[in-house]
Amino acid sequence: MSDRGVLPTGVPGGPESPVIMAAVLAARLSPAEARRIRRRVRLLEQLACGMSDPEIARAEGIQPDSAKSRVARLLKEMGVVNRAQAVAVGYETGMLATRVGLCGTYDGARRRLAARGKRET
């Protein structure tokens, strides 16, 4: 058995700390894997903010069908059946942090899009 995934218990914040886990993962992941994980966390944040597939697509600069596929793939990878379960698991596992202003980031994007007349129909 490899000890690659084992963290010392004396580390401040404990081995389960999201900050510690992020640092360990960053040290062991290729740049492509790190980008993929950041994109999945960003998608999970968007789901937590209640964004629809078209809103996610506009925020990410992708087609709505691509956003829908990414959401479906994320749900499957997480082993959940809907967005609410994904968000709950995200908070339970520490993938999502309770940050003040998290949804404000995406709400600001919504307002800018609406101001340009690109409202969702």
Predicted local confidence at residue 9, as pLDDT: 44
Tell me the two tokens of residue 112: 């800018």
Region 91-108: mean pLDDT is: 71
Asked if residue 85 has pLDDT above 90, the reply is: yes
CA 41 vs CA 62, 70, 78, 91, 92: distances in Å: 17, 12, 12, 11, 14
User: pTM for this structure?
Assistant: 0.64
pLDDT band at 10 (very low <50, low <70, confident <90, very high): very low
- The CA-atom distances, in angstroms, between 74 and each of 71, 112, 113 are 5, 27, 25
Domains annotated for the chain, with CATH where assigned, are: 18-115 (1.10.10.10)
Give the pLDDT score at 121: 44
Residue with more model confidence, 109 or 76: 76
Residue with tokens 């129909």: 121
